[in-house]
Amino acid sequence: MRDAYHEELEALADRLVEMTRLVGSAISRASTALLDADLSLAESVIAADDAVDALRDDLDARALDLLARQQPVAGDLRVIVTSLRMTADLERMGDLARHVARVARRRYPESAVPAALRSTLVEMSQVAERLVAKAGSVIASQDVTAALELERDDDEMDRLHRHLYTALLHPASPYGVEAAIDITSVGRYYERFADHAVSVAGRVVYLVTGQRAEELVEPPA
């Protein structure tokens, strides 16, 4: 039987998973707002980021309270410190979803996404949603193998990100300065979103194995 203290520790993980769901919903809706130039959806994503921040505040307060009251050691200490770090990643992912929504709002009623780059942005949004969903599963399952797989999705995100620049810089590129600004910004937001999801998964790896994710995977050739 678990005591109240261990129940509180386990509740941290549940709330972290809940935070990944909020952030996943945010990036999904922000992407739709961007791709469909949907102003009201963009506004709703921007407004909803407060809930992510509130959940972060609540989680951090619980973690600090556990540190102060329970003076945890070893594994329990690592769970709490990891929670503090994951909330920072997830809060930032919420910000990045909001940034995507803001680009949609800024260009409304026009679309910030040129037609020829739409499919790349659709793929980036899908990879972002997949990454945050996997990060949530990994927090719940503590499955190290699954955690290490996020690197592969991140490689895919990097490839899509590079493709945006290649397309913008192509000699026959029809894009102007405004599109270059928007696409550079949005591309960066998705890429950073993915980095933070990988970071969350890496923290699970560290929590379970005591080793960094980098030490457990082959360096890229």
**Footprint of its own copies (CB under 8 A):** 64, 67-68, 71, 73-74, 77, 81, 84-85, 88, 165, 168-169, 173, 175-178, 180-181, 184-185, 188
- Residue 216 corresponds to which tokens in the numbers above? 């457990």
What is the 3-state composition of the chain as percent helix, strand, coil, each rounded to the nearest 5? 85, 0, 15
- Say which residue the tokens 């290490």 belong to: 148
CB contact at 8 A, 201 and 134? yes
- To its own copies, the closest distance from the beta carbon of 78 in angstroms equals 8
- To its own copies, the closest distance from the beta carbon of 175 in angstroms equals 6
Nearer to its own copies (CB atom), residue 9 or residue 41 = 9
- To its own copies, the closest distance from the beta carbon of 41 in angstroms equals 24
Nearer to its own copies (CB atom), residue 84 or residue 140 = 84
- To its own copies, the closest distance from the beta carbon of 217 in angstroms equals 18
Segment (H or E) for 59 = helix 39-70
CB contact at 8 A, 62 and 86? no
Q: Cα–Cα–Cα angle for 19, 21, 26, nearest 5°?
A: 95
Nearer to its own copies (CB atom), residue 41 or residue 213 = 213
CB contact at 8 A, 135 and 150? yes
* 3 state SS for 180-192: HHHHHHHHHHHHH
Nearer to its own copies (CB atom), residue 38 or residue 154 = 154
Nearer to its own copies (CB atom), residue 77 or residue 146 = 77
- To its own copies, the closest distance from the beta carbon of 131 in angstroms equals 19
